[in-house]
Amino acid sequence: MNRVRYDLSKLDKKKLVIILILTCVILSGFHFLLNRNEVQKNREVVKPEVLTYTVQRKDMMRRISLYGETIAEANIDIAPKYTGRIKDVRVSLGQVVHKGDVLLVQDTGDLDLSILQNNAASRQAEADAKETMATYQALYDKVNANYQHDKTNYERYATLYDQGAISKEELDKVLQQMIDSKSALDTLLNQRMAEETPASVESKLAAWEKSQKGEAMLAKQRDDLILYAPRDGVIGYRNAEVGTIAQAGQKLLSLVDNSKIYVDCELSEMDIAAVKVGLPVDINIEALGNTYHGDVIYVSPAADAATKHYIVRIELKNIDAQVLSGMFARTDLYSLQRSQTLTIPKEALMERNGKAYIFVVDAKNQAQEQEVTIGLRNDEEIEILSGIVEGDIVAVSNLARLKNNMSINAISQESQVNPS
């Protein structure tokens, strides 16, 4: 009997545990439903925050972004004209130099010897030319004097012959002397060139002139072994050491002139009309986090055959030592698309099934969906041709959460930009 009671008691406990578990489950589910309803009610009470924009009539401007790299006024490679050993390097990286400063010297020893030898040959050629000229002139003066004497003597004898004072044989003898001296003079005169320089002298003068040209050429070649700074600037590259052989045309140094900095940008055909020489712009150099003023100084007259783009060069005006060649730069230009038209931010527009919609915020701060007709677009704005009027307030954010007649917490974009 006791055992039966014990089994019944055990059975009752099991039922009790099951009942308690079921009760907890039911209560938990009921509590979950209550909380869910409460959360839903709270959600319905909270108004979504929505940025708004007041529609106004204004000029619609399209932003044109230009990108490019800064370019130095000059970046010049310095290379030798002739192959030779480097004798001296007088500059280091980053050194400021001025026009005419000696940068590098190649060995001139062999060339100096050639110049000395050529100078000696030139002086000898000069002496030979002068000696030959003096010899010719002395001979000419003597022969000419003989001719003048014989001519005068013949004229005197001719007078005496006419007077019967001398014989015909005596006159003919004097005439022959004059003819011989005239022939000797003509021989010397025939040696003269167009400039009345005798051929014998002309050859000596030609040799002298040739040696002078050789001397000048060697002097120029020697000067070419000394590399000078072509302008003011800073040494931006150096690959030259004393004692090494530098090949002709090998880049040894570079000189950078940052006295002026430019930015070259590419512009499409669609945007070229917005850019004119003299247009002021602001250039942002991202690496420095600074903005610099500049002017457009050049617009290419024709598009590049490969890229179909135009080149625009901008000169920076207020540069400092931080601005270097090769930095990434950007500027924004603005081109008029439409004068005095209604526009909205592009974020305010919704498009479904080929139609355009916006949410207009009414006087009760409720969102009302409105179909509109759109016109021009750009990266920031959309032109509205119909569906709204100036002064309407449109929703710009949270559009996916909005429904017709939904109350919202409207926050004007203008108040965010210029808080009162």
Predicted pLDDT at 339: 94
**What is the pLDDT confidence band of residue 417, given thresholds at 50, 70 and 90?**
very low
Question: What is the pLDDT of the chain when averaged over all its residues?
Answer: 83
Residue with structure tokens 């167009």? 194
Per DSSP (E only), the strands in 229-380 are 233-238, 245-246, 253-267, 280-285, 290-299, 310-316, 328-345, 350-352, 355-361, 366-377
- Residue 286: phi and psi, rounded to 5, are -60, -35
**Confidence band for 196, pLDDT divided at 50, 70 and 90:** low
Least confident of 111-125, 170-184, 293-307, 404-418: 111-125
Least confident of 39-43, 139-143, 386-390: 39-43
Q: What are the Cα distances from residue 98, in Å, to 35, 95, 230, 260?
A: 83, 10, 8, 16
CB 394 within 8 A of CB 357: no
Q: Is the pLDDT of residue 229 over 90?
A: yes
- The two three-digit tokens of residue 41, written as one number: 């009610």
- Give percent of the chain with pLDDT exceeding 90: 46
d(CA 351, CA 358): 9
Local structure of 282: helix, strand or coil: strand
CATH architecture entry for 49-60+339-417: Beta Barrel (2.40)
Rounded to an integer, the average pLDDT of 226-253 is: 93
Q: Is 70 helix (H, G, I), strand (E, B) or coil?
A: strand
Q: What percent of the chain has a predicted confidence (pLDDT) above 70?
A: 77
74 — pLDDT class (breaks 50, 70, 90): very high
Rounded to whole angstroms, the Cα distance separating 232 from 95 reads: 11
CA angle (382, 385, 391) in 5-degree steps: 80
Helix H or strand E segment including 97: strand 96-97
| Least confident stretch, 44-58, 73-87, 199-213, 289-303 | 199-213
DSSP code for 345: E
Could you tell me the pLDDT band of residue 117, with boundaries at 50, 70 and 90? low
Q: How many Cβ atoms from other residues are within 10 Å of residue 92's Cβ?
A: 8
Average pLDDT over residues 176-203: 72
- Percent helix, strand, coil in the chain, to 5, is 40, 35, 25
Fold of 258-337: Elongation Factor Tu (Ef-tu); domain 3 (2.40.30)
pLDDT band at 153; cut points 50, 70, 90? confident
Q: How confident is the model at residue 272 (pLDDT cuts 50, 70, 90)?
A: confident
Residue recorded with tokens 């003068």:
205
Residue 11 has pLDDT above 60, yes or no: no
> Are 246 and 106 within 8 A, CB to CB?
yes
Tell me, rounded to whole angstroms, the distance of Cα 58 from its chain centroid: 38
Long-range CB pairs of 349-357, under 8 A, 24+ apart, other chains included: 349/374, 349/382, 350/399
Both tokens of 175, joined, read: 């005439």
22 pLDDT higher than 90: no
- Count of CA atoms in the C-beta half-sphere (13 A) of 68: 23
Question: Per CATH, which fold does 80-104+226-251 belong to?
Answer: OB fold (Dihydrolipoamide Acetyltransferase, E2P) (2.40.50)
Q: What is the SS3 assignment for 121?
A: helix
Q: At what angle do helices 109-162 and 199-224 cross, to 10 degrees?
A: 160
